[in-house]
Structure 1
């Protein structure tokens, strides 16, 4: 499958059962047309609406479609799962699972094979995130960054992620700007996610409690983003340098890290770089 495009997707469009799979060569795309096809056998969760119990065709007689059309209600679940595996965002997957029972099953099967899942840009909550992550047993990268509509993720959501089957295998987690979480949830997550290599907790209100937990449990960590984490102190940063030998980069923008501390970090871990770097600026000023 070379391409998958979702055009003009909306809840109202999905509820009409009017989504058609268009196949042209090796490419697939889903787009809404003026043809509305629905069969009650697909298991659409709509009751008492006779509009959804028969076929309606409103396309002009003169128009001839060049593509082969297949109603997605009749596509096998394994094929649907392969299609949904190409979706990259929670929003698309959530909308797809709302079409009918067969689509919901296809999304469930697709989740079992996903290695990346992003909730960025969507206002997800603990129940939704927890449910999807629990079904994604092969997940490696998880992004729950703050979206334009805000985030409703709390420590309860992090606890569900920590207890999910995929958590020990996660290599990348982003909690950028999720202000509803505390040290309690972060500690539980990093305690279970021992394979982490990239962690983004920038824009949160974590303290040294979380940082010390990271130092204790995430010895494979390579990149850490602490952007704006003003409650994290130099002591926490030093503990990271001592316990995480693979750590090469820490974003400390907005934090109060002294030049003395940075020079100490360089002695503990010569490969570790702080961003921004006071030591680098000091060398530049000294040579100018």
Structure 2
């Protein structure tokens, strides 16, 4: 084990770095893990990390054991955020409807263009509806691997007019009614991932009749493996 001892003089030198300079440097850090470690060095670095969060446009919480409170707090700092990934594939993320409710109150919510909630089995229609009702700029949404129903899709159809792509991977409680609502209301919709859904093939023929240019993935095989 390597133990680093920082003497008082060295620590004082670190504290003299201007917080705006630190913020600019920390903005270059792409790993949230590294940013969190930097913020623990001293008070000045913590403030620099907080300010860099406020300027970030993309945030992925991979590698951290996040809960509702900590996730909402971090998103609350990220005033300019446009891309938020809190999916289950990010190890340890345990978010529920309560967390989505709190995130929906963040300053950045109306600027978000991309949200991934993939595999988050702790959320329901209640949390998703609250979130998307305020995410009016949303263009890309991944809610695959969740237990949402048509109620979430109805809310998305009504609140997200700019939606271009949605992943509904294995959302087996969604029916034809939800998909039709999306296609009819989201005029900019370009792509839907329907892998593993319990939707009859004739439904997709009807959807394509409404929106011929829509890309339905996986193409030509609505129960097969989706390609990357």
Q: Point out 4+ residue stretches in structure 1 off by more than 4 angstroms.
A: 40-43
Report the equivalent of 2:226. Answer: none
1:37 is the counterpart of 2:13: no
Alpha carbons of 1:266 and 1:147: their partners in 2 closer, same or farther (altered >3 Å)? closer
Report the equivalent of 1:87. Answer: 29
CA RMSD across the alignment = 2.3
State how 1:1-288 maps to structure 2 within 5 Å: 18=4, 36-39=5-8, 72-147=14-89, 149-278=91-220
Q: Which has the higher strand share?
A: 1
Report the equivalent of 1:59. Answer: none
- 1:40: how far off? 7.3
- 1:88: how far off? 2.2
* Alpha carbons 2:139, 2:165 under 8 Å: kept: yes
TM-score, normalised relative to structure 2: 0.89
* Alpha carbons 1:208, 1:233 under 8 Å: kept: yes
Q: How many Å separate the matches in 2 of 1:264 and 1:244?
A: 16
The CA deviation string for residues 26-63 of structure 1, in whole angstroms up to 9 with x for no partner, is xxxxxxxxxx43437958xxxxxxxxxxxxxxxxxxxx
Structure 1 gaps of 5+ residues are 1-11, 19-35, 44-70, 282-288
Which of 1 and 2 has greater Rg? 1
TM-score, normalised relative to structure 1: 0.72
Structure 2 gaps of 5+ residues are 224-228
- 1:121: how far off? 3.7
User: Which has the higher relative contact order, 1 or 2, with Cα contacts under 8 A spaced 6 or more apart?
Assistant: 2
Q: How many Å separate the matches in 2 of 1:213 and 1:77?
A: 42
SS at match of 1:108: helix
